[in-house]
Structure 1
Amino acid sequence: MTDISVGRWSLVTRADATDLQVLAEVDVLVVGAGAAGVAAATVAAEGGAEVLIVEKYGFAGGAAVAGMSGTICGMYLASDDPEAPPRQVVFGFTERFAARLRERGGLTGPQRYGKTFTSAHDPLKWREVADELLTSAGARILFHTDVVEVIVEDGRYRGVVIASNAGLGVIRARRIVDASGDGAIVARGGGDWRFGQDGRIQNPTMFFRIGNVDLERFWDAWGEDTICPAWITERIVAARDRGLDLPRNKIWIFDTGRAGELLVNATRLVGEGGRMLNVIDPVDFTIAEISGREQVRQYARFLREEIPGCEELYVVDTGVEAGIRQTRTIRGIQTLRNEDVVEARKSPDAVVRSPWPIELHDGERPKLHWILDDYYEVPYGTLVPAVGEDVIVAGRCLSAEHEALASARVTAQCFEYGHAAGAATLISLEREIDYRAIAAREVRERMIRAGSALTHDEDTANVDLERTHA
């Protein structure tokens, strides 16, 4: 692929693709380097495709790193049995990435989260693992780059206009993976999408890390579960009555694996009068950022004053951006329904498993619906837009109903959506067929060969359910 040098960018004031230099022509363009984008780009590049991945930040990670969500949720079954060990049922690219993190000391063991488990990761090591996977696969990376326009010709997504401090330029691609998280490529190209349920989406949050904590005293008081105990909720209510801005009664705190440090998910970000914030709008995004940092200061004060071991804490940092749970949802050729999740439905067209509960942050208190000792499966068609060709999505913008998305959006599943999108892209290129013409079983077979747990064979399923992590 031709080098994208500074001299080839166009310093113009409008994004008219006909006026701009073509910087590169590639097999696959991946937009967004979060969990889904890294997986899609790595898989496609390892399969022999010429891949370019573009990312607005100077690092990979998306919501997991920039948003500091900080955990790989969605790997383990939930159970009513408090003695049940962690039982991992999601593998494939998810496990591959997790294993690289463990090798670097960047992933904790499973931590109790209500009726299931999750593991916290080091954001720096997350970035390093992503860099290593992408570069070793041969994918080209453009950080500090935004997509400002999408090129569609006769209903086919053919490329994008990108912008950086160097100017504007065009990337043309045979296939595009929309891993933006926001369905930005599909939407800008004229595809169908919606915002949540009747325009309602889940609240953003602002994660933060605290340091200088006496962890032994903290965990002795807090207990094993990362979700706060009842006595903490009582103190939050009392502190709010005294004037602190603490909108959430239930807060979650995770061990990061670093000495004296914890990861906190405590905030609820809304507009004036409780108005829902839609962070697609930069006005709302700005409100979320400013109010989020203020709430962080309030919750840090609460922890310092009320929780043993936190008396001398300080805030290490907040997310680079507010944690985004939901924005656009595409209309796909298939849709994950709420009842699919609640009833733990399996599908012969499935490409991803999920045991994660419905965790709906919409309103004054989260709604939790647990899937006990089981999982549901996400069909391939939820990644394929109903309108437009040569584009596929990977990540939280998949085609799903509101409550279903509140389960399906988490990190382990996003890795596997990217895995599926990468596998489907290779099939599409090799056979010169549209994404919608690909049989889901072909994608499944490739993913299974790469380690994903998708087979319905009874003996294999039983083995999967017995796998544990110490």
Structure 2
Amino acid sequence: MSERKMKFDVVVTGGGSAGVAAAVGAANAGMRTLLIEKNPYLGGAATHSSVLTFCGFFTQSDPYEQIVGGVGEKVLEELRQLHMYREPYRNPRSGNVIVLLDAEATKYALDQVVLASGAKPLLHCQVIGAVVEDGAIRAIECYDHTGRFLVEASAFVDASGEADLSVLAGGQVRFGDEEGQVQASTLVMRIGGVAPHADLARNGFTEVIQQAKLNGETSLTKEKGMVLRLPGSQDVLAMFADEYVNGLDSSSLTEAEMSARRQAWSYLRVFQRYIPGFENAYLGQTGPAIGVRETRHVVGEGTLRGEDILNGVRCPDAVARGGWPVEIHEKGAPAVYRHIRDKSFYEIPLQSLKVAGIRNLWCAGRIISCDPVAFASARVIGTSFATGHAAGVAAAQFVGNGVSDVQAVRKELIRQEALI
């Protein structure tokens, strides 16, 4: 073990949307905060898997309502300043309301929001262990190319996407649903050189993929995917290459990503051959990482349930809102949706963000304590900003008071302009 050691009030592991929001929330509550991320940039799935859409900032009603503010709104404002965001986009086919993103602008915007808060980002860093005493985490063990080192703190937030810190600390988790099955993963394709007049309607893509299969193309899975034009360029985002993968296992990830890249090139050839406007298209980027939707779920002090979200439940201990419909992905099939009552929103209780059995650990993002139906809604990026913000403030309240009183957490979130 290296003699190198750091000490903070709050440490957040994982620099995706949930982790960024948690770190900024804790820092804005006055805590010395560290944000640890293994990649060379922040953003998680949005930037590292090229999921260049923020889903869940708005309800799907007509007119839509913004339900995520606070740190998430700060990121949107940074994107506005970069002229990369003006208003959300409603998909004419699904009716879903989303924010379309530019990858580099998103990376930069997240940097600026974190730095402005005073939180310290630490990129290129892996969390590999936890020191637990008397039911609380005293420190975490980290690794970079200098070797191992310790980071001590009074409170922690697990926003890793895989519940890594919760497992390392001895918390209870569940893999996938009750049978251990996970939603399909997708390798996102960024395609350049697409003519402005190209018709991106889903039916046209479905027809040519079906025809290509009849002609002997065997490397294609999904026939009904999503194709969206990205802001500031002629590039399009295409989501077709599906795989089932254990996102915790390097062998499974290796096989899935190589297989999905093979699919991506096959899809490109089909689009070049059959879709007008794609004749000069090229594959600008895949991934870099396959978009893993689901691995572990934390067992929390409370559980967000599917029946509650579908009924648009309101609760007195709410610290976040979710408004994305239940969205379930199986390999090769179009997404299946179930809508929240009135296409409105539901509220998320603080107890679903508190890791059971570990006094000073909260969770955020797709790993929060929820059943499979609730997960299929709450996992999206906009909602992750909201749960991350709440988890960061709860951790900060614990540092200051030794407890996280829900009314105190709500008061601080409101002060930080969260929508609850």
TM-score, normalisation: structure 2: 0.94
Q: Distance in 2 between matches of 1:415 and 1:429?
A: 21
- What is the Cα deviation at residue 59 of structure 1? 0.8
1:358-385 deviation line (CA, Å, top 9, x unaligned): 1111354232112243111111111101
Equivalent residue runs for 1:8-157 within 5 Å: 19-79=1-61, 84-107=62-85, 109-113=87-91, 114-157=94-137
For the 8 Å contact 2:24–2:71, the answer to whether it is kept is no
Q: Aligned to 1:323, which of 265, 280, 291?
A: 291
SS across alignment from 1:207: strand
Aligned to 2:143: 163
- Counterpart code for 1:183: A
For the 8 Å contact 1:203–1:361, the answer to whether it is kept is yes
Consecutive unaligned residues of structure 1, counting only runs of 5 or more, are 1-18, 271-276, 455-470
- Counterpart code for 1:56: K
Seen in structure 2, the aligned counterparts of structure 1 residues 169 and 307 have a Cα distance that, compared at 3 Å, is same
1:251 is aligned to 2:232: no
Query: In terms of mean alpha carbon deviation, does 88-97 or 397-406 score higher?
Result: 88-97
- What is the Cα deviation at residue 76 of structure 1? 2.1
SS across alignment from 2:153: strand
Seen in structure 2, the aligned counterparts of structure 1 residues 453 and 140 have a Cα distance that, compared at 3 Å, is closer
Q: Aligned to 2:305, which of 337, 341, 347?
A: 337
Q: Distance in 1 between matches of 2:50 and 2:3?
A: 36
- What is the Cα deviation at residue 202 of structure 1? 1.0
> What is the RMSD computed on CA atoms of the aligned residues?
1.6
Q: Distance in 2 between matches of 1:314 and 1:104?
A: 26
1:238 is aligned to 2:208: no
- After the TM superposition, which parts of structure 1 deviate over 4 Å for at least 4 consecutive aligned residues? none
- What is the Cα deviation at residue 232 of structure 1? 2.9
For the 8 Å contact 1:22–1:172, the answer to whether it is kept is no
Q: Distance in 2 between matches of 1:237 and 1:89?
A: 39
1:26-73 deviation line (CA, Å, top 9, x unaligned): 111111111111111112122221111111111111111101111010
Aligned to 2:195: 214
Aligned to 1:14: none
TM-score, normalisation: structure 1: 0.85
For the 8 Å contact 1:196–1:401, the answer to whether it is kept is no
1:306-339 deviation line (CA, Å, top 9, x unaligned): 2221111011111121111111100011111111
SS across alignment from 1:444: helix
For the 8 Å contact 2:29–2:412, the answer to whether it is kept is no
Q: Aligned to 1:441, which of 407, 410, 416?
A: 407
For the 8 Å contact 2:128–2:143, the answer to whether it is kept is yes
Consecutive unaligned residues of structure 2, counting only runs of 5 or more, are none
- What is the Cα deviation at residue 86 of structure 1? 4.2
- Counterpart code for 1:222: L
Q: Distance in 1 between matches of 2:175 and 2:66?
A: 32
SS across alignment from 1:141: strand
Aligned to 1:280: 248
Number of equivalent positions:
414
Equivalent residue runs for 1:250-399 within 5 Å: 250-270=224-244, 277-365=245-333, 366-371=335-340, 372-399=342-369
For the 8 Å contact 2:221–2:331, the answer to whether it is kept is no
SS across alignment from 1:399: coil
Q: Aligned to 2:155, which of 160, 171, 175?
A: 175
